[in-house]
Structure 1
Amino acid sequence: MGGDHGSVLTKNGVPVAIQGIARNITDRKRAEEALHESEEKYRSLVERSHDIVFIYQGDRFIFANNRATEVTGYTKEELYGMSLADLLHEEDREIVLDLERRRAAGEGIRSLYEARIITKRGNVRYCEFSISSITYGGEHAILGALRDITLRRGTEEALKESEARYRTLVEQSHDAVFIHQDDRFVFANERTTELTGYTREELWRLNLLDIIHPQDREEVAGYLGGNDKEGSTPWVWVARIVTKEGRVRHCEFPVSNITHGGRAAMMGSVRDVTQRRQAEEELRRHRDHLEELVEERTGELRTAYEHLKMEVAERRKVEEELLRSKEKFQNLFDNALVGLYRTRISTGEIIECNTQLVSLFGYDSRDEFIAVFRSGETYVEPRTRDRLLAKLKVAGRVDNFEARFKRKDGSIFWGSLSAQIFPEEGYIEGFLIDITERKWALEALKESELRYRSLFDNMLNGFAYNKIVLDEHDRPVDFVFLEVNDSFVRFTGIRCEDLIGKAATELFPGIDRAEPNLIEIFGSVARTGEQVKFEARIAPLNRWFSISAYSPKRGFFVSIYEDITEAKSAEEALKESEGRFRTLVETMNEGLGGRDENGILVYVNQRHCDI
């Protein structure tokens, strides 16, 4: 009840009465209390938000929640003395300020954009800004929410790099590589267009069966009908294709099932084996013809020398065996996939070689190669042949002697050489293999290992690779540290060399009693392969951690530790504050109660009950 317009009535100058108007203000009081409760509720939500929430007016922050201090490193008092420009990265500052000037001028500016901020420690954080205009204190202001997307951006960049790297490898492949989904090509590298004669746009409109030779389509269709088998282990088809120009090519199809765009697909590569098949067919015809000639000659000899059957038969047997042996050796020598040679010890000249060796050194004919080749001149590093000869003279042979060689055009390749010396005859025999690709692969593997080792060592989270220890009843009782990163060393305060190979109970005495579930959880992960994520307080370290664990193979597990001690401390402080508030309300001499939006009483203190 509120009073208004009151006055005093007098008689002979003496007050005798008061007159006035009374107004019922109960609804207004209830509205004020509801408004106050709503304000407290939304303030609590804003303060607990995982996003930065702020109000910006003029050129200063006039409100910022707790998350703003966590991300930026500034206190609220420091933020209230700063402008938005002070937080923005110099490369993004003018863009963002221009957007906000235009927003303040009433232009229809997008409310969601990304920009970088600089924390108090100088770290760059990628943020997603959600901005809207409001009226605050009767004046224009900006209500903003910032979400830290640094981790997401890093993951996206790593994914883009990985995709670009593998796309480059696929595009440079000597084999045709394709992805087939929903009865259509959805990806094809450059080699696929070269092999088939179709452009990529034409391939997108084709089914794989459209380029398969008609006589092979039924068999390939059967393969395609069974391509829903589980797993991604490749299997190999052999079939003919018909190019756009109508040429027939014999091909091998190593294929495997994959997931592409979230749906099942088939990835395959096509290797043109036409020349190999033609060579095999030519060899078969020659073999058949040779057998016919031998059989015919044998019949003639049998007729001509019937009276000398025994002698001729024996001689023929020797001659035929010798002929087959010679032809077999000659075929093996000429068609070997490695370079075969015989060189003079004294000069390094070629006495004999096969076509594979001629090709390795980039020559067009064997005669040209034999005429100009000197083995000592083909090594990139001087005196390499001297070192090879020294090894041969001591051991009589060498295996897998690696060196760099020069081709006719001056290009360089790596070769692996195995040889045997025949001092009395004056020559060396051996073979040479091109190992350039293997060398490049080894170098690439080393570089990849260094990159991932650097990433591993610089992770902010602690990383440990462990082996679970079981007792005689196959129950987990301990675990041993096999590998850790620098962050894990920092968390524990124990040097890396003192961690590796040691058991957890040895390094942290009492951990099996203080945290019995920890070893049990890790044991379950190592034996079942199921991933887990949980929070635990490691008593020997007096720290709280968010722990993720998975098993790369049975009996072993990887554990990743994120230090959440500060977050836990904040939770405890919040609980203590709430407890103190509840105690205060319960001990007040005034009755307090709260109703929900339907007017139902949802909370009263003890004094309210007493009243």
Structure 2
Amino acid sequence: MLDRDLASDLSPLPRLDLPGLLTALSPYLVLAAVVLLGVAVGHLLRTRRRLERTLAEAARAKAALAESEEQFRTLAEMAAAAIFVYRDGRFLMANPAMTAITGYSRDEILAMTQMDIVHPDHRVAVMNRALARQRGEDVPDRYEVKLLTKNGETRWVDMSAGSITFQGHPASIGTAFDITERKKDQERIHFMAQHDTLTGLPNRALFADRLEQALLLARRAATRVALLFLDLDDFKPVNDTFGHAEGDLLLKETARRMRQRLREADTVGRIGGDEFVILLAPVRSATDAAQVAEEIRREIERPFDLPGGRRQISCSVGVAVFPEHGDAAMDLSKHADMAMYRAKSLGRNRVEVYREGSPEDGGG
């Protein structure tokens, strides 16, 4: 009974008229489609405009970069300083001043690395500098370095370096001013401060420094050093009779003869008008030092053929040896000087080795 009542209450559902519903909704669907289409089109247009602006900005940036690089190249071509661009140690650009300093053509430079033109004496220092920069250490942007030119000459340059963007990629730029002549002037000034202007021999200050260094090494190695004091006999009459020009030539030739008789490790210096000093380091004994002194005496005794005629002089030589005749430079100098005056007092034109207790030493 209950089931029949429930069944009678469940009437059939009405049928959905889908075509009719679509017909009724079609205006709204069309409107929605139009709206969606408009949104999509608007989005596409905005995207297109943004893309066009981006492309336009990129084109302007590219044009500006090209113009900037062109201006840079123009300025570089006109610059008196060497200008070059490099990346990973290889050259990307070099201006005419760079080719003038190095002697290489532009094409040759572009096929080279930095180290190819750095002088061998400075390659390690330049490499260490580059590594320090890579480690982020504080490295000065400016430094002086020697270059080796195509024909083998040495050129000094004042170098500066920095970072740039070149052809759209990070790179380094360098500038170099040729300071070779300035360096030569500095070397000449330094040389003149330490050498006799007439003979080119070390002066008193440089000779004293070399003597101290030789004594320091001799103490460490337990070797001997000999100090010779040499004074020309009767040089003043040459100056007075034949003039200072003739005397200067004689002094220069005397210096040449002494250098010729000595080893490369030995030093001869001029400390006065006709006074010379000789450092023999090392030397085996006082006898060997006296033998060298005798060879020099005989060499100076030979006639000098000068423009004004043949001249003949002699010399007196005193010898003192470390450590027998003194442990300090002052003692050796004093004793070599005393031995030289003993040679003069015994008739000149001879060699005397310092002897403790001699009259010059205050002995009997």
TM-score (norm 1): 0.26
The answer to which structure has the higher helix fraction is: 2
Judging by fraction of residues, say which structure has more strand: 1
Bigger radius of gyration among the two: 2
Q: TM-score by structure 2 length?
A: 0.41
Higher relative contact order, structure no. (Cα contacts within 8 Å, ≥ 6 residues apart) = 2
